[in-house]
Structure 1
Amino acid sequence: MELNSDQLRALCAVIDQGGFEAAAASLHVTPSAISQRIKALEKQVGAVLLRRGRPATVTEPGAVLLRLARQVAALETDAVQRLGLDEAAGRPRVQLVVNADSLATWVLPALAALPDISFEFTLEDQDYSADSLRNGTAMGAVTSSPGAVQGCSVEPLGTMRYQPVASPAFIRRWLPEGWNAASAATAPMVVFNRKDSLQQRFLRDCFGPGVTPPHHFVPASWDFLQATRLGFGWAVLPDLQAGPLLADGSLVLLDAGRTVDVPLFWQQWRVELPALSRVAEALAGAAGRELC
């Protein structure tokens, strides 16, 4: 079976742009042309490839073709760059999925040394980030999953260490008798989003299952840190963020010596792309310096 490159580009464009009209504009064709290309591709492979919502998303068969389409596009860009055929098309773009804490601490400084690469970051909890490799929306991922996604390689990065902290004012108000099961059940906590299980993991380690305090959702790494510092609730924060605030007294430890450790791994496509190899090298170097 020979797949049509224009149809694969149309599939990519619909996902990247979120719908048929925006995809048509990005490829300088009509929405009808995009629709025809997608229908032809679906007919050829015998499967529905897109869920036609707002935004459009891929089905499981669509994810297979989306990843192929992205790999072909990346290889084309690399070939153009190597041959010097088109300077405008020669700047590689690397799509990465990264957990918010890593992006806010060690990932961005590591990749700042690669100014000739364009990056597209997607934030996702480390327990779920490998899904973006499976569905074709990312070329590489910082993930907690040690099992390689099909078609990808995996390398250990190190361990991101978290500590349970709160502001002094929060301690005085909510934990006057100290950190125990009774106080933990009523003291509010800060949670990143509904996928964030780190606070509950810490509670289980301390007191077993069943402790469910009230909580605030704060889905941005810097704002999450600020909410904790301002006393909205207690939280587990990465050492890279908590360290300076513990040193100056803005935060204090809830339970000295108890940590939550999250092993991190780098997964990427098994495709020979110099830009992706440089990203992997930069991240591995930074992880070796910053992670446990």
Structure 2
Amino acid sequence: MLDYAALAALAAVVREGSFERAAHALHVTPSAVSQRIKALEEKVGAVLVRRGQPAEPTPQGRALCRHFDAVSTLEGELSADLPGLSLEGEGRATIPVAVNADSLDSWFLMAVADFSEKTGHLVEIKVDDQDHTAEWLRRGEVLAAVTSEDKPVQGCRVKPLGSLTYRANASPDFMAQNFADGVTPETLALAPSLAFNRKDRLQSQWMQRHFGRDLTPPLNWVPSPHGFVIACRLGLGWGCNPDMLVVDDMANGTLVELVPGATLDIPLFWQVSRLPSGLLKALGEAVAGAAAVLTR
């Protein structure tokens, strides 16, 4: 039988990145956290955490964290039927989810708010590019993900959510300075563009779709969806923004399209563990409700 206090300590260290922050989250001493994990490592006969900055799980540690997440989710559901049962975290489960930044900043938090209001449980959000969030599921670090991948990850089911529609935007002054002779492959190769991070391929996909070429313009790196919009307004470059984040800018002329009507639609999917959990079902329903904005 596994020691679930020790599993909670392990999960806290992995989540918080250090023994000290894990101890603070669990309201115990760092020494207590260390002793619990040491005892667990002795029981399973394997190192579970690589001590470093940040602390990281070994494959065995990650497997135990995945087990703890699943058990915590199932136990959290008992609090509604057995309010007198003493559970870790006062009966609240925390469901780890991976989400792309543009969804997080445009519609996903509405789903989290709806889920938390209806169930009283919590969500831990991991942010990554939509082409990479499914990897968090494969590694067992989350129980669900918003992803562009439609092929089910092993042990998961998939539900289509709709598409995020992107437009290539820039300020009117930027357009006048960089595209006075029109938006062409030649002018696109010279005009500064924006990129979220080195995983971001939206601008490349947009150029490939509408010009048939994957160009390499000079880049300003802006790792924030709202920062992306602000950078476009300030003339730092052009970038692909979700319609939901630039509707007002488009209406008042603060931002214009590089090529009117040249959109890029990115289909999104909800991948969730097949764990028989009412909480995962409730979260999925909240996600589906919030994602209705993607199909309007």
The answer to whether the superposition gives a TM-score over 0.5 is: yes
Alignment of 1:187-226 (within 5 A): 187-209=191-213, 211-226=215-230
Whether the 8 Å CA contact 1:91–1:118 is kept in 2: the answer is yes
In 1: Cα distance, 2:103 partner to 2:11 partner: 27
Cα distance, 1:166–1:63 mapped onto 2, change above 3 Å: same
Q: CA deviation at 1:249?
A: 1.3
User: Which residue type is aligned with residue 291 of structure 1?
Assistant: T
Q: CA deviation at 1:187?
A: 0.4
SS, match of residue 163 in structure 2: strand
In 2: Cα distance, 1:239 partner to 1:72 partner: 39
Whether the 8 Å CA contact 2:226–2:245 is kept in 1: the answer is no
Which of 99, 122, 128 pairs up with 2:126? 122
Q: Unaligned 5+ residue runs, structure 1?
A: none
Alignment of 1:116-195 (within 5 A): 116-195=120-199
SS, match of residue 254 in structure 2: coil
Q: CA deviation at 1:52?
A: 1.9
| Structure 1 residues 237-272: Cα deviation after superposition (integer angstroms, max 9, x where no partner) | 112223332222111111223222211111122223
Whether the 8 Å CA contact 1:23–1:34 is kept in 2: the answer is yes
Which of 242, 253, 266 pairs up with 1:249? 253
SS, match of residue 133 in structure 2: coil
The normalised TM-score by structure 2 is: 0.88
- Aligned residue pairs, count: 291
Q: Partner residue of 1:13?
A: 12
Q: Is 1:89 equivalent to 2:79 in the alignment?
A: no
Cα distance, 1:154–1:23 mapped onto 2, change above 3 Å: same
| Structure 1 residues 66-99: Cα deviation after superposition (integer angstroms, max 9, x where no partner) | 1111111222222133211159713443332211
Q: CA deviation at 1:208?
A: 4.3
Cα distance, 1:32–1:268 mapped onto 2, change above 3 Å: same
Q: CA deviation at 1:43?
A: 4.8
Share of identical aligned residues, percent?
44
The normalised TM-score by structure 1 is: 0.89
In 2: Cα distance, 1:287 partner to 1:19 partner: 35
Q: CA deviation at 1:33?
A: 4.5
Whether the 8 Å CA contact 1:81–1:91 is kept in 2: the answer is no
Q: Once superposed, what is the RMSD of the aligned Cα atoms?
A: 2.4
User: Which residue type is aligned with residue 56 of structure 1?
Assistant: A
In 1: Cα distance, 2:232 partner to 2:40 partner: 50
In 1: Cα distance, 2:14 partner to 2:261 partner: 46
SS, match of residue 6 in structure 2: helix
Whether the 8 Å CA contact 2:69–2:95 is kept in 1: the answer is no
Alignment of 1:39-50 (within 5 A): 39-50=38-49
Cα distance, 1:146–1:44 mapped onto 2, change above 3 Å: farther
SS, match of residue 113 in structure 1: helix
- Deviating more after overlay: 239-248 vs 99-108: 239-248
Q: Partner residue of 1:75?
A: 74
| Structure 1 residues 156-194: Cα deviation after superposition (integer angstroms, max 9, x where no partner) | 111111111111111001111111111111101111112
Q: Partner residue of 2:101?
A: 100
In 1: Cα distance, 2:210 partner to 2:162 partner: 24
Cα distance, 1:28–1:90 mapped onto 2, change above 3 Å: closer
